[in-house]
Amino acid sequence: MKRLADKPFVLLGVNSDDTQDKVKKAVQKHELNWRSWWDGGSTDGPIQTAYNVAQWPTIYVLDHEGVIRFIYADNSNLDEKALDEAIDKLLAEMEKSKKDTP
């Protein structure tokens, strides 16, 4: 998400691989440049349980108050256009809010 490098945006990941070594290899292989947590090595780890994740990948877009604004849960193909639109909409709302604040 290089296009968002100068925006108020943070990408975080949760990984359910069975070992931390596999997580490190996946991060290197896919050149992930965001913070990623290992969720205990199973698909029922505490983070995934708290967010009720049932499919992988699952992507949540949260606003600055922690409100979930977009959920993508599909194990086939990531709809990058829908994800980009959700992020852009949220960033536009934040920018408008900044301008409206005296």
For residue range 6-16, what is the model confidence (pLDDT) as tens digits?
Answer: 888 788 888 88
Kindly report the backbone phi and psi dihedral angles of residue 71, in degrees, each rounded to the nearest multiple of 5, phi listed first: -130, 130
Q: State the pLDDT at residue 75.
A: 65
pLDDT tens track for 49-87: 998 888 877 888 888 888 888 888 876 677 778 888 988
Taking the C-alpha atoms of residue 47 and residue 61, their distance in angstroms, rounded to an integer, is 15
Domain boundaries, the chain: 11-53, 57-96
pLDDT tens track for 10-43: 888 888 889 999 989 988 998 888 888 899 888 8
Report the share of the chain in percent with pLDDT over 90. 15
Q: How many CA atoms lie within 13 A of 92 on its CB side?
A: 6
- Examine the pLDDT at 1 and tell me if it is beyond 70: no
Taking the C-alpha atoms of residue 22 and residue 44, their distance in angstroms, rounded to an integer, is 17
